[in-house]
Chains A and B, each alone.
Chain A
């Protein structure tokens, strides 16, 4: 059982469409991060959210941390082929020894 459940697992969309990826848990996280990983490379940190209800924007990407700090979402507006990759959420929680735990990821493919 994943400590962080991501959905959907796979997403294939056309360029220009919008999408949302979700990251849910029954645990409370002190911080939550989103990473993007391309094939054969390591994950690259996109954002860290720490406050319940926090919203952060990174160009066309909008990240939200749930009020109860148990869930997060990543919304991409007008997706581009360059957004293709594996999106991973990761969180830090005291009940997991404060180590970073990862969701299984969402594979996004944006077709031109």
Chain B
């Protein structure tokens, strides 16, 4: 079966702009989690969506938001981009029924200049 698909793979934005990243989970998976990965901080949890509802949230400012559609596809949005938002953004798909085995996409590499 198809894996987790994230688009785009690479993105360059300027400070102050906003960006939307997309994630298509594995078919049948209802949970999508988003992570930010940087060399200094490692993998930081942003939020989790399950059945179109945010189920968990990490400690990120309100500039980071997300949503999930009825087909389980998810998007995350970052507004008013800052240089420090440059990172690899990873999406992970799981069944969401208490089973947390996560299957990751290849990520979106965001560079803010």
By a beta-carbon cutoff of 8 Å, the part of chain A in contact with chain B is: 2, 31, 33, 35, 40-45, 48, 88, 90, 92, 97-105
* A100 with B104, Cβ < 8 A, contacts A40-B109, A42-B90 known: no
| Interface size classification for chain B | 20 to 34
Q: A90, B42: Cβ atoms under 8 Å?
A: no
Interface membership of B105, Cβ < 8 A: yes
Among B12-20, B64-72, B75-83, B95-103, the stretch in contact with A: B95-103
Q: Which secondary structure dominates chain B's binding surface?
A: strand
Best-surrounded residue of B6, B43, B107 (most CB of chain A within 10 A): B43
Question: Is the beta-carbon distance between B102 and A100 smaller than 8 angstroms?
Answer: yes
Whether the Cβ atoms of B33 and A99 lie closer than 8 Å is yes
- Quick check: A48 and B101 within 8 Å, CB to CB? yes
| B76 to A: closest C-beta gap in Å | 15
* Residues in A whose Cβ lies below 8 Å from that of B105: 42
